[in-house]
C-alpha cells in the first residue's frame, strides 16, 4: 500500500499525454466548426499535406486522450493509497477533490474551450471512487461491463452515422450548424463565445457524456495496471510494459489505420474503440525509451509538464485561443497543415519552458497547488 517515491515514468506519460491532447485540439482551434474533418482522413492520398494530416489523425487523435484517461485512473489509485495512509475518509475526500476538478473544468469550459475534458473526468472519478470503496474486489467485472456497454453504444452510433453520411439533406443541415460556429470564432467577440457555450451547454457536452463508460473502463484499467506492478522497477514490471508495447502497438497501429479506409465506416470506431489500444502501446513505448536512456532531454521536458499537467492543459488551450480566435490574433480557418503543426510545436515548447519555471519555483503547477490546498482543507 505504501507509495512514497514519485514514479518518473508516470510524470513522463502524463506530460506526453498533455502535449498529445493539444495535438488533437489544435485542429479544433485552427479550423473551428469542422469537427467532422478532425475525425476523418478522406482524401489522404491527394497530396502531402493531406497525408501528414491523416498520419497525425491515425497516431494522435483520441490516442493521447485515452492515455490521459488511464493516467487519471492511476492518479485515483495513488490518492486512494494516500488517503488510507493519512487515515482520511476515502469517499468524502475524493468526492470533494472531484467537485473541485469539476468546477475547474466548468470555468475552463465557459471561459476557454467547449471541448473540456475535466468535467467528464470529475464525474468518472466519483463513479470509480464509489466502486473502489464498495466493490473493490470486482473492479475487473466493472471494467469489462463498462467496456461492453461502450462498445455496443459506439456500434449503434456508428451505424446511425453511416446513415447520416448518406443523407445529403441532413449533412447540409449539420454543415450549416458548423458554419455558424466557424463565424462565431472567426468574427464573434469573446463575450459572444462565452454566451454560446452557456446557451448550448447540453449539446456541447454530449460527447463527454457519451464516453463516460469508456472513461470508467480506462480508469479501472489504469488502476489494475498499477496494482499489477506495471510501473514497478522490477522484472515483472518490465515484462508487463513489454507486453503493452508489443500488443498495444502491434494491434493498435493496424486498427487505427482503418481510418484510412474511404467512406467513413471506421471514423467513430477508430476514435472511440481502437484509440485506447494504441494508448496502452504508448505506455510501453515511452517505458522502453526511458529504460534505454534515449531522448533524455525530451523525456525530461515531458516530465516537467507531467508535474504541472492540469495547469499546462488549461494553459495550452488559453494559448491556442489567443492564437486562433477572433479576439486574439485571429488565425482561425488556417488550412496550411505545416502552419498548424508549427503552432502545435510552438505552444508545446512554450509549455515546456513555463512548466520548468512552475516546477523549479513551486514544485508543481499553480492549479495543482491550489487544488491540493483546497482538497485537504476540509479534512485537516
| Span 87-138, pLDDT tens digits | 999 999 999 999 999 999 999 999 999 999 999 999 999 999 999 988 888 9
Say yes or no to pLDDT of 250 above 90. Answer: yes
- pLDDT for 335 equals 84
Please state the rounded mean pLDDT for residues 315-331: 95
Burial class (CB in 10 A: 0-12, 13-18, 19+), 10: buried
Those residues whose C-beta lies under 8 Å from the C-beta of residue 212, and which sit 6 or more positions away, are 120, 123, 124, 127
Say yes or no to pLDDT of 299 above 90. Answer: yes
**Tell me: the pLDDT tens digits for 212-225?**
999 999 999 999 99
| Average pLDDT value for the chain | 91
User: Is 1 a domain residue?
Assistant: no
Please state the rounded mean pLDDT for residues 266-275: 91
- pLDDT for 1 equals 38
Please state the rounded mean pLDDT for residues 70-77: 96
Confidence tier at 161 by pLDDT (50, 70, 90): confident
Q: How many domains does the chain have?
A: 1
Q: How far apart are CA 109 and CA 120, in angstroms?
A: 11
Those residues whose C-beta lies under 8 Å from the C-beta of residue 160, and which sit 6 or more positions away, are none
C-alpha cell at 314: 488549461
Classified as helix, coil or strand, 165 is helix
User: Is 160 a domain residue?
Assistant: yes
- pLDDT for 263 equals 77
Q: What is the DSSP letter of 273?
A: I
**Tell me: the pLDDT tens digits for 256-265?**
999 988 877 8
Which has the closest alpha carbon to 344: 9, 27, 90? Answer: 27
- pLDDT for 36 equals 67
Confidence tier at 3 by pLDDT (50, 70, 90): very low
Is-contact 152 109, C-beta < 8 A? no
C-alpha cell at 297: 532531454
| Whole-Å CA distances, 19 to 37, 41, 298, 317, 366 | 21, 21, 12, 11, 18
Cβ–Cβ contacts within 10 Å for residue 171, how many? 13
Say yes or no to pLDDT of 66 above 70. Answer: yes
Is-contact 332 186, C-beta < 8 A? yes
Burial class (CB in 10 A: 0-12, 13-18, 19+), 51: middle
Q: How far apart are CA 63 and CA 41, in angstroms?
A: 16
241 or 35, higher pLDDT: 241
User: Is 3 a domain residue?
Assistant: no
Say yes or no to pLDDT of 304 above 80. Answer: yes
User: Is 228 a domain residue?
Assistant: yes
Segments forming the whole domain that contains residue 175: 8-379
Say yes or no to pLDDT of 6 above 60. Answer: yes
Q: How far apart are CA 259 and CA 123, in angstroms?
A: 30
Amino acid at each position: 500500500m505504501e507509495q512514497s517515491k514519485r514514479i518518473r515514468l508516470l510524470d513522463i506519460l502524463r506530460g506526453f499525454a498533455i502535449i498529445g491532447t493539444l495535438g488533437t485540439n489544435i485542429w479544433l482551434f485552427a479550423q473551428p466548426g469542422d469537427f467532422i474533418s478532425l475525425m476523418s482522413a478522406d482524401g489522404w492520398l491527394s497530396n502531402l499535406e493531406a497525408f501528414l494530416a491523416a498520419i497525425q489523425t491515425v497516431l494522435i487523435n483520441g490516442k493521447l486522450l485515452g492515455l490521459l484517461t488511464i493516467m487519471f485512473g492511476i492518479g485515483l489509485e495513488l490518492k486512494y493509497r494516500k488517503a488510507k495512509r493519512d487515515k482520511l475518509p476515502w469517499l468524502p475526500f475524493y468526492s470533494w477533490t472531484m467537485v473541485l476538478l469539476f468546477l475547474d473544468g466548468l470555468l475552463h469550459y465557459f471561459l476557454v474551450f467547449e471541448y473540456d475534458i475535466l468535467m467528464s473526468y470529475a464525474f468518472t472519478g466519483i463513479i470509480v471512487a464509489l466502486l473502489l470503496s464498495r466493490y473493490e474486489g470486482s473492479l475487473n467485472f466493472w471494467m469489462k461491463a463498462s467496456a461492453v456497454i461502450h462498445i455496443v453504444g459506439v456500434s449503434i452510433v456508428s451505424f446511425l452515422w453511416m446513415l447520416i453520411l448518406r443523407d445529403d439533406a441532413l449533412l447540409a443541415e449539420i454543415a450549416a450548424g458548423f458554419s455558424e460556429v466557424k463565424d462565431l470564432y472567426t468574427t464573434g467577440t469573446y463575450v459572444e463565445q462565452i454566451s454560446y457555450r452557456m446557451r448550448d451547454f447540453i449539446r456541447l457536452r454530449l460527447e463527454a457524456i457519451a464516453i463516460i463508460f469508456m472513461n470508467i473502463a480506462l480508469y479501472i484499467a489504469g488502476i489494475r495496471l498499477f496494482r499489477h506492478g506495471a510501473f514497478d522497477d522490477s522484472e515483472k514490471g518490465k515484462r508487463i510494459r513489454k507486453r503493452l508495447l508489443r500488443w498495444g502497438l502491434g494491434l493498435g497501429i493496424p486498427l487505427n489505420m482503418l481510418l484510412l479506409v474511404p467512406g467513413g465506416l471506421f471514423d467513430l470506431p477508430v476514435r472511440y474503440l481502437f484509440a485506447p489500444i494504441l494508448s496502452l502501446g504508448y505506455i510501453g513505448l515511452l517505458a522502453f525509451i526511458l529504460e534505454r536512456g534515449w531522448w533524455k532531454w525530451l523525456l525530461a521536458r515531458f516530465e516537467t509538464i507531467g508535474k504541472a499537467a492540469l495547469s499546462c492543459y488549461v494553459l495550452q488551450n488559453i494559448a491556442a485561443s489567443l492564437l486562433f480566435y477572433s479576439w486574439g490574433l485571429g488565425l482561425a480557418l488556417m488550412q496550411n497543415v505545416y502552419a498548424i503543426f508549427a503552432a502545435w510545436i510552438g505552444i508545446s515548447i512554450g509549455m515546456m519552458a513555463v512548466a520548468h519555471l512552475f516546477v523549479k519555483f513551486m514544485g508543481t503547477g499553480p492549479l495543482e497547488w491550489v487544488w491540493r490546498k483546497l482538497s485537504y482543507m476540509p479534512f485537516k
